[in-house]
């Protein structure tokens, strides 16, 4: 099979890396890919960035199956476009992708279908939003309604921070994504990422994970696209796994069908799990994503032992209820190395050195990297905010962490920044 992966980040590198391991995958293309996928001997970057360019390549090359990584092409309707042209593609259609592309849509959907989530209100008038914050008090959460690359969420601990976030969002800082703001109650507890594959009728849960949104150690600093992740998340016990399926995932799939929308693709529920015993502790949805998480994908793909192409085929044929995914029992940790001045205006063009060869227990997935020229031995440069995700397996979480950080310390680019405490919650419990 010829398979196309759409996207340019660390998530797409990990998806393509895993797909290429399948005996069914004869050629794997990445559109447009990055420096890491360009250097991989079994992956091929193609210069296609728009949905139309990807479609034209798929038709010309005879692509058998396409997997979409990022949210923007899903929100723009790439799945609708491919299917209209008779091409197999894994991802939600534009209507279903609104679960991520519009937080207002998602909140109204959850309220309508009795899916637990934080109390909220929606505003496009700044003064009304300021007044609401004063009625509710702080801490409080301010979210841009649309897609903002994981950075459109501000946890305001003071009224001044809340006012600034409202003014920035409604003042155009995030463009059209901030035309409306969703203001939510602040929830306490521990976050977890719960991702499933959906075929329109059935779902196949993937391994649990937990990411680290804040830029700095001890969960300080601004929100980012994600500074690291690990899998599995110990907080997701068997009891909680069953409850998440019953209280969140199944009602979401049924709610979509009731609304006349068939959901296919990855479905990501970002959850806040409150205090208490597992039978009773509250589970609330912080957000839905219509794709795999980044950087959660990297440790999840490291742990996946099943043939990923076989799972994708099962989804295409609506028989996800007939299979189970096999997982490496060892935990995996991914540590993101970010560029200087990320997440504000990251510097690009810095030379990257010290990259090791991939090992069975440690792989460096590329995100914001590019080759200085097209030659195979050309210099790798930073080209985005999140540059690399160093992902390692270990017999236990501590061993995985030590393996990942030993590799991180060997890699160099000017101004590199990373958190030193990935998986701290799980290690604290161990």
pLDDT digits (tens, 9 = 90+) for 219-239: 999 889 999 999 999 999 999
Measure the CA–CA gap between 169 and 153, rounded to whole angstroms.
10
Measure the CA–CA gap between 26 and 334, rounded to whole angstroms.
28
Measure the CA–CA gap between 391 and 393, rounded to whole angstroms.
7
Nearest to 30 by CA among 355, 165, 19, 21: 19
Which residues are 271's β-sheet partners?
A: 192, 285
Buried (b) or exposed (e) across 393-413, using 16+ Cβ within 10 A?
bbeebebbbebbbebbeebeb
Q: Measure the N-to-C terminal CA separation of the chain; round to a whole number of Å.
A: 43
Nearest to 227 by CA among 111, 390, 75: 390
The contacts of residue 173 (CB under 8 Å, 6+ apart) are: none
* Residue ranges of the chain with per-residue pLDDT less than 50: none
Name the strand (E) or helix (H) holding 44. strand 44-45
Token pair in block for residue 249: 């995932």
Phi/psi of residue 192, nearest 5 degrees: -145, 150
Q: How far is CA 150 from CA 72, 177, 337, in A?
A: 12, 12, 17
* Residues making up the chain, counted from first to last: 430
* Sign of the torsion angle spanned by Cα atoms 289, 294, 295, 296: positive
Q: What is the pTM of this model?
A: 0.94
């Amino acid at each position: 099979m010829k398979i196309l992966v759409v996207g340019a980040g660390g998530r797409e590198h990990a998806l393509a890396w895993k797909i290429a391991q399948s005996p069914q995958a004869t050629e794997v293309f990445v559109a447009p890919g990055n420096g890491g996928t360009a250097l991989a001997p079994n992956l091929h970057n193609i210069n296609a960035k728009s949905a139309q360019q990807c479609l034209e390549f798929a038709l010309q090359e005879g692509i058998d199956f396409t997997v979409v990584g990022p949210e923007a092409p899903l929100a723009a309707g790439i799945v609708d476009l491919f299917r209209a042209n008779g091409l197999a593609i894994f991802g939600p259609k534009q209507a279903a992708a609104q679960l991520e592309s519009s937080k207002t849509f998602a909140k109204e959907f959850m309220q309508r279908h009795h899916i637990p989530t934080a109390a909220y209100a929606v505003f496009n008038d700044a003064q009304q939003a300021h007044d609401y914050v004063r009625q509710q008090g702080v801490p409080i959460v301010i979210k841009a309604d649309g897609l903002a690359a994981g950075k459109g969420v501000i946890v305001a601990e003071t009224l001044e921070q809340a006012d600034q976030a409202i003014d920035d969002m409604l003042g155009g800082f995030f463009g059209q994504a901030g035309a409306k703001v969703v203001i939510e109650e602040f929830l306490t507890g521990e976050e977890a990422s719960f991702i499933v594959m959906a075929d329109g009728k059935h779902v196949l849960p993937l391994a649990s994970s937990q990411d680290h949104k804040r830029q700095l150690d001890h969960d300080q600093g601004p929100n980012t696209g994600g500074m690291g992740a690990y899998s599995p998340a110990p907080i997701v016990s068997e009891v909680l796994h069953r409850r998440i399926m019953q209280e969140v995932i199944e009602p979401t799939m049924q709610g979509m069908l009731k609304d006349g929308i068939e959901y296919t693709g990855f479905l990501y529920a970002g959850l806040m799990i409150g205090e208490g015993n597992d039978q009773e502790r509250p589970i609330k949805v912080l957000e839905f994503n219509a794709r795999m998480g980044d950087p959660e994908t990297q440790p999840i793909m490291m742990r996946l032992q099943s043939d990923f192409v076989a799972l994708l085929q099962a989804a295409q044929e609506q028989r996800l209820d007939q299979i189970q995914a096999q997982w490496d029992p060892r935990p995996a940790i991914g540590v993101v190395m970010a560029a200087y001045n990320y997440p504000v205006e990251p510097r690009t063009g810095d030379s990257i050195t010290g990259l090791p060869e991939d090992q069975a227990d440690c792989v460096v997935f590329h995100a914001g990297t590019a080759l200085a020229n097209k030659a195979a031995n050309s210099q790798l440069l930073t080209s985005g905010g999140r540059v690399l995700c160093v992902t390692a397996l270990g017999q236990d979480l501590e061993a995985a962490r030590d393996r990942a950080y030993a590799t991180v310390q060997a890699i160099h680019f000017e101004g590199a920044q990373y958190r030193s405490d990935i998986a701290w919650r799980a290690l604290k419990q161990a």
